[in-house]
Structure 1
Amino acid sequence: MSKLDVGNYPSKPVTLGTAKTDDEAALVEARRIAEAMPLPTEIDPALNFTNRFNQSRTFVDVSQYPLSRDLLMTREEFNILAPGFISGYYSEGRTDINANLSWTLNNYTLLFTDSEAAKKAVPTLGAKHQEALGANYEGTQLAKFPEAHAVWTPRSDAMYVWHSVEQFLVLTVVRDNLSDQIGSDDLRGIQAKAEKVISALQPGLSKFTHTPRDKWWTLDRDIDGILAMTVPATNDSVTNSATIPAAYRKHGALQVSLNISEDQKLFDETGVDVAAFNGGELYRTKSPEAAQLLEKRRLERGRLFIVAPSPPGLPSAKCHENREKFRGANPRYYCTVTFGKYVAQISANQLADAHQRISAQYSLLANSKS
C-alpha cells in the first residue's frame, strides 16, 4: 500500500468529532432534514430519477446553487426579509432521466429558529420572489393550502409555492416540462401536483425535532466514522466548491439516487445502511460479499463506457472511461474499489487524478479502524 500514488490526497482518516462552529452544527441539522423528508418516489412513484448535482445537498447559504437559481434574490435581501434561517436541504425528482420529457420537482426545505419566523416569511418572501420572477408569472391559489403563496407561468408550465411546516419554510417548484415542450398549459394539473407535494412533506417535517442551540456542540459531524473515510473533494490542486461533505443513513442516501427504485432494491439486497458523499461516494454494506455485489451493479455502465487502466499497485480497483461524444458536465473517468464491507466510487476528468483519488480512497479505508 505504501507504493500507491495518492497525490495530495490524504491516506489516513481523521476523526471529525462534534460540531465546533455554528456552520458545522447547522450542516448536521441540514443532514437530518434529508432523513425527515419523503423520497420523491414516496410523493409520486413516477418521480424516480434525479440530477446528481451536489450529492450532499445541504446548505447554510442561500446564494448556493441551485437554490440561487430559483430564489432570485441576494443573500442580504433574504436575510433581511426572513430572519431566523439556520440551514436547509435541497431535493429533486423527475419522471424521466431526460428533464425535457418529464415533470420535475424541486423542494428547498429551510430550517428556521422557530415556527413563527418560518410562517411570517411565507408572504414576505413570496411577494419579493414574485416581483423578481417578473410579469410572465401570475398569482394563483391552492385550494387545499390557501395560506401558501403560489405563482405560475402559462408560458413554461411552472409553479413556485412558498409554504411553511412548523419550523420549516419550503420553496416547492413544480415544472411540467413535457407540457411546455408541446405547448400545452395545465394550471389545474400543476396545482394538483403542488398540493400532492405539500401534503406528502408535512408528516415527516412536522415530526422533526430541532436540536436546541445550546446543544449544538453535541452534534456529531459524522455517522459511524464513514465521512472521515471518504476522499475529500478538494486538495492543493483540485477544487470543487459545489460539494459539501455529508454522511447519511439509507433513507438520506436514496435522496440522491439516479434511479431511486433500483437503488432501493439494491440497498435492501446488499444491506446498505450508511453512505457518505465527499470527493466520491462510499457505502457500507452488510458483508464483503454484499460489497462485491454492489460494486458489480455499479460497474454496469452501458455501451458508452470502455475499460480503463487500474491505478498502479491497485489492480482490484476497476476503472472505466466515458466515451460519450457530448458528456456535458459528466466526468470522463470512473473508478470503484471495495474494502471489506465498503464500496467506494470516484470520478474525475483526468485519468491520473482518478487513479490518485481511488488509491487515496483505498488507503483511507485500509488505514481506518472500522
Structure 2
Amino acid sequence: MKRLGARRGCGRTVLGAVSVVVAVTVPALAGCASEVSGTAAAAEVDVRQLPIGNYPTDPLDVRMTYRHSSGEGYAMAIARLADNMVIGADVDPSFSHNLLSKSLASASSTYAMLADPVRTVLEASDMVYGYSTASSTKPLDKSSGFSLSGNFQPFGGVDVDPTASSFNLTVIQFPDQQSAQTAGRDMEAADFNVASDQNVHVTLTGNPAAVAHWRPGVPSLAAVLTDGPYVVDLFVQQPTADLDGLRGLADKILAAQLPMLDRAPALSAKKIYRLDYDPDDMLRRTLHPSSLINPNPDTEITHTARGYLHYVDDQTTWKPLLDNNGVDRVSEADEGSILFRARDPKSAAALWTAITALTPTPAEAPAKVPDVACADNHDAAANDSNKDYNAWNAADKYICTVRYDRYVARVASNQLIDAQQKAAAQYALLANSQYL
C-alpha cells in the first residue's frame, strides 16, 4: 500500500522516523534558502521494497470485515477465562513448568483429564465453557507414557515426576450460581465415588466451603469449590502423603485464583456474542496469511501476558521477559506470527534482544529489513524455552524476530526464505498499521 509523506516547503517529501535513528548534523531547509543546523533522523524504510513474497502487508481489518458468530464468541470467552487463570508463578516461583493448557468448549473436551463419571455429570449439566491448566516444579519426562484409561488424569494422561509438586486447576462457567452449585456437588461426589471405599472427606482450612477428599497414604488431594456461576476443580500432588501440606497447597492456589475470577465476571450469552475479537488492535497488526479470521482461544486470539504463558513450557524463561518489559498483550494468528506489545519502544528493544538470545545460532536476515534477527533452530528439541504450540511451530528450522516501535513479533518456517519473507511482511504490516 502506498503511503504518502507530509509535504513541506519546496516540494520535499518527508517520511516518518524509524526505530533506528542515525544522528548526523546536516543543513536543514528553512523556507527555501536559509540554513539551520540540526539533527536529522533516518527516513522510514520504504516497506513497498521489502522482500515479502506473497504475504499481505495491509492490516487485517483493511482486508476483511469481521462478523460475529456464537461459536467465535465462545472462543473469545474461553480466552478471557484463560487470561484470568493462575499460572504456576502466581502460586510459587518453584512452579515454573507448564504441563497442560486446555480449552473446554464442552464436556467432551475434558477427556483424558477428568474421570469418566465426572465428565458424565458435565454432560448432564448446563456447562457453558471452561479452561484447564496445570503446573509443576519439574518438567514432564519426555519418555513418559500416555494413558487412555477413563480414570482421573489431571495432566492430560501423562505421568508427572513423582518427586515434583504439581497441580491442575479447572474452572467451568455455568449459567447461574444454582446450576454451578448443583454441578460442583455432583462432580465431587462422582470423583469421590470412583474409590469410595478408600477416599476420605477433608476440609480445607482456608476454604471451608470447598468439598475435598484424599486417599490416605496417596500424596494427592482433590477439591471442588463453587464461586458464583463458576465451579473451580482443583487437584494437587506432592512427593509425600502429607495431608497438611496438600491442604496448604490447595488453599494457596485458591487464594491466588479466586480474586482473578472476581475480575472476570461470568458472561451471559448476549455478552459472549458481543465480545471484541481484536482488543487493543493487536490482531490487525499480526501477520495473518489468510484473509479470513477464525477466532480460537489457542491458535488465533489476543491474550494478556498471563494468558499467553499458559502455552509456554518454560515459564522461568518467559515470564521475566514479559514482566520486565511491560508486555500486556500477545496476539497469535494461525500460520502467521506471534506479536508482543511492550511498554514502550525502549522496552521492545530490550525484549527483542532477550528473545533473539534464546536461539543463538544466527541465520541470514531478510535484506533491507531493520531490526530483525533470524536464527537456525535445527536443534529445536534442545530449545525448550521457545516452545509455543499455537500460531507457529517452534520446532520449525528457522525463527525470525522483528521489532517495530513498541511491538516485537516472531515468525517461523521450515524454509529460511519463507521465514525471511514472513519477517519482512510482518515489519511492513507493523509500519502500515501505524497509519491506517
With structure 1 as the length reference, what TM-score do the two structures score?
A: 0.76
Report the Cα distance in structure 2 between the residues aligned to 1:322 and 1:262, rounded to whole angstroms. 17
- Which of 121, 125, 142 is the matching residue for 2:183? 121
The 5-angstrom pairing of residues 151-162 of structure 1 reads: 151-152=213-214, 157-162=219-224
Task: List alignment gaps of at least 5 residues for structure 2.
Answer: 1-46, 141-159, 388-393
Indicate the RMSD between aligned Cα atoms, in angstroms: 3.9
The answer (yes or no) to whether the contact 2:98–2:134 under 8 Å persists in 1 is yes
Report the Cα distance in structure 2 between the residues aligned to 1:235 and 1:130, rounded to whole angstroms. 47
CA positional deviation for 1:331? 1.0
Report the Cα distance in structure 2 between the residues aligned to 1:360 and 1:104, rounded to whole angstroms. 41
CA positional deviation for 1:146? 5.3
- Which of 44, 60, 63 is the matching residue for 1:14? 60
Once the two structures are superposed, residues 228-281 of structure 1 have per-residue CA deviations (whole angstroms, 9 ceiling, x without a partner) of 32235x869xxxx99332213445445556565765554454332322133442
**More divergent stretch after superposition (147-156 vs 160-169):** 147-156
Report the Cα distance in structure 2 between the residues aligned to 1:171 and 1:287, rounded to whole angstroms. 38
Structure 2 residue identity aligned to 1:114: D
Report the Cα distance in structure 1 between the residues aligned to 2:425 and 2:195, rounded to whole angstroms. 49
- 1:71 aligns to what SS in structure 2? coil
Match of 2:376 in 1: 321
Once the two structures are superposed, residues 260-312 of structure 1 have per-residue CA deviations (whole angstroms, 9 ceiling, x without a partner) of 5765554454332322133442111233332121110112226xx52223346
Match of 1:60 in 2: 105
Match of 1:143 in 2: 204
Change over 3 Å in CA distance of 1:152–1:309 after alignment to 2: farther
Task: List alignment gaps of at least 5 residues for structure 1.
Answer: none
Structure 2 residue identity aligned to 1:195: D
The answer (yes or no) to whether the contact 2:60–2:283 under 8 Å persists in 1 is no
The answer (yes or no) to whether the contact 1:317–1:358 under 8 Å persists in 2 is yes
- 1:282 aligns to what SS in structure 2? strand
1:111 corresponds to 2:166? no
The 5-angstrom pairing of residues 286-325 of structure 1 reads: 286-301=343-358, 305-311=360-366, 314=369, 316-324=371-379
Change over 3 Å in CA distance of 1:93–1:286 after alignment to 2: same
- Which of 189, 198, 215 is the matching residue for 2:254? 198
**More divergent stretch after superposition (104-113 vs 71-80):** 71-80
With structure 2 as the length reference, what TM-score do the two structures score?
A: 0.66
Report the Cα distance in structure 1 between the residues aligned to 2:198 and 2:59, rounded to whole angstroms. 50
Q: % of aligned pairs identical? A: 23
Report the Cα distance in structure 2 between the residues aligned to 1:309 and 1:134, rounded to whole angstroms. 59
- Which of 403, 410, 423 is the matching residue for 1:358? 423
Once the two structures are superposed, residues 190-236 of structure 1 have per-residue CA deviations (whole angstroms, 9 ceiling, x without a partner) of 2321222223322332453234333444321111110232235x869
Match of 1:71 in 2: 114
Once the two structures are superposed, residues 313-367 of structure 1 have per-residue CA deviations (whole angstroms, 9 ceiling, x without a partner) of 6474322233548559861433211122210123445545544543443343233
Structure 1 residue identity aligned to 2:274: T
The 5-angstrom pairing of residues 77-96 of structure 1 reads: 77=120, 79-83=122-126, 85-96=127-138
Report the Cα distance in structure 1 between the residues aligned to 2:107 and 2:367, rounded to whole angstroms. 42
Instruction: Tell which has more relative contact order, 1 or 2 (C-alpha 8 A, sep 6+).
Output: 1
The answer (yes or no) to whether the contact 2:88–2:95 under 8 Å persists in 1 is yes
Report the Cα distance in structure 2 between the residues aligned to 1:122 and 1:361, rounded to whole angstroms. 46
Change over 3 Å in CA distance of 1:270–1:326 after alignment to 2: closer
**More divergent stretch after superposition (255-264 vs 42-51):** 255-264
The answer (yes or no) to whether the contact 1:271–1:285 under 8 Å persists in 2 is yes
Match of 2:326 in 1: 271
